[in-house]
Structure formats: C-alpha cells, structure tokens
Chains A and B, each alone.
Chain A
Amino acid sequence: NAGVTQTPKFQVLKTGQSMTLQCAQDMNHNSMYWYRQDPGMGLRLIYYSASEGTTDKGEVPNGYNVSRLNKREFSLRLESAAPSQTSVYFCASSEVGGGGRTEQYFGPGTRLTVT
C-alpha cells in the first residue's frame, strides 16, 4: 500500500515548455486534489476532482489543466510554463465526505523550477 505517489520528484523547465505531473493513489479514494505550496502562502488548491469523471477549479487554476484518468490517477498539466509557476506541487486524495471521514492524504510532492 503506497498511498499517494507522484512523479517526477524534481523538474526544471524553461519558460514556455510544457509538462504533466502524474499522481496515483491506491486507497480507493473518490476525491483527488492538486495544490501548490509557496513560501509564506500555505497550500493553495489548483484543481480538484470530487469523483471519477469530474473536475473543478480551485483557488488558483490559471495556467493549469487536469485530467482524472480513472479512479486512481489524476494528472496536472502546465501547457506553457512561466516562472510564476515555480513551486512545490502536492497531490492529495480523500474519501467522499458528508458525515464520514474527510481528511486528505498527501503525496511526496514535485519540486518544479521554471527558468
């Protein structure tokens, strides 16, 4: 049981390049999330997927796209990278909420630098 996995761990891009960050979870969770973390700003939600087949924008979606490939996998794409997208990116997953457990579990992160 690996939990939430992310690839790659590190990436350096030049301005204008594109890339896809991959995320997978093996906890049979319905919901998945992409965050970015910048110094002094905490975690900010980019996109989330409440269940397979659905995606919604979070707080900072501009410049990103997502795909919920199946229940396990949720990818984040940068179409034309900008230096402002230099950050640490975390993927997370959780069960669907309601009255039940709603905590999110995080992957190890991808450290992205855009030059």
Chain B
Amino acid sequence: QKEVEQNSGPLSVPEGAIASLNCTYSDRGSQSFFWYRQYSGKSPELIMFIYSNGDKEDGRFTAQLNKASQYVSLLIRDSQPSDSATYLCAVKSPFSGGYNKLIFGAGTRLAVHP
C-alpha cells in the first residue's frame, strides 16, 4: 500500500464547477498536510496546508481534513481553465521529527474545460 494515494485522473470539470480532489494516507500519526499545484514543466507551488480536522478556506480553495478516516481533500470552487494542472498531496512523515520530511502522492491531473 502506498503511503499517500491519489487518483491520477484526469479529472475533467467544466468551467465554473467545483473540482474535488481526494487524497488518502496510511499513517494514522501524520500531523501536517499540504496541497501543491504543479503546471506542466514547472515546479510544485504550495497552495494550501492544513493541520487540524475540519475545513480551511482560502479564496476559491478549501482543504478538508478527516484524520479518523485518514483522508484530505481539496475543493476548488468556480474552476477556471487556469486551474488545469496536477495537484500533489503531501503528508509530513510522523517519523521525521522536526525535519519536515514530506511524503508525496503521485498527483491528480485536473482539466478544466471552457
């Protein structure tokens, strides 16, 4: 079992719709969770982080964390073609102490069509 799993996609949504990206993780002791956006040929860019159960909103983005079910999701409201990218879920390894070792999922490719 992979430590951090994401559906590879592509997830195709129409412009203006809500895109829902999901991520599950295997280690129940994980504490910190991150979403990165990566455009083709570019480096990952941090867009959200969440540490506590529940929802965290930032503009059109909402991160949701459910530690009991070991999943974290990212909702993108009013999706735009410029949101088309690969979204990487990352989880801080519970064994990394203060060293911030992140375990990445393989990413979900999102395609927003006009």
Residues of chain A having any CB pair with chain B under 8 Å: 31, 40-45, 48, 50, 56, 58, 90, 94-98, 101-109
> A108–B42 contact, CB under 8 A?
yes
Q: A42's contact among B34, B92, B100, B104, by CB below 8 Å, is which? A: B104
Q: What is the CA–CA distance of A60 and B93 in the complex, to the nearest angstrom?
A: 16
> B100–A31 contact, CB under 8 A?
yes
9 residue pairs bridging A and B, Cβ less than 8 Å apart = A40-B8, A42-B106, A43-B44, A43-B88, A44-B104, A48-B101, A96-B98, A102-B49, A104-B90
Residues 61-104 of B contacting A (Cβ, < 8 Å): 88, 90, 92, 96-102, 104
Query: Contacts A42-B106, A102-B32; is A107 near B43 (CB within 8 Å)?
Result: yes
Q: B92's contact among A41, A96, A97, by CB below 8 Å, is which? A: A97
What residues of chain B lie closer than 8 Å to A42, measured between beta carbons? 4, 88, 104-107
Counting chain B residues whose Cβ lies within 8 A of the other chain, the interface size class is: 20 to 34
From DSSP, what is the main secondary structure of chain A's interface residues? Answer: loop
Q: B43's contact among A31, A56, A90, A103, by CB below 8 Å, is which? A: A90
Query: Contacts A40-B8, A43-B88; is A58 near B101 (CB within 8 Å)?
Result: yes
A87 smallest CB distance to B (angstroms): 14
> Is B17 part of the contact surface with A, judged by Cβ < 8 Å?
no
What residues of chain A lie closer than 8 Å to B96, measured between beta carbons? 97
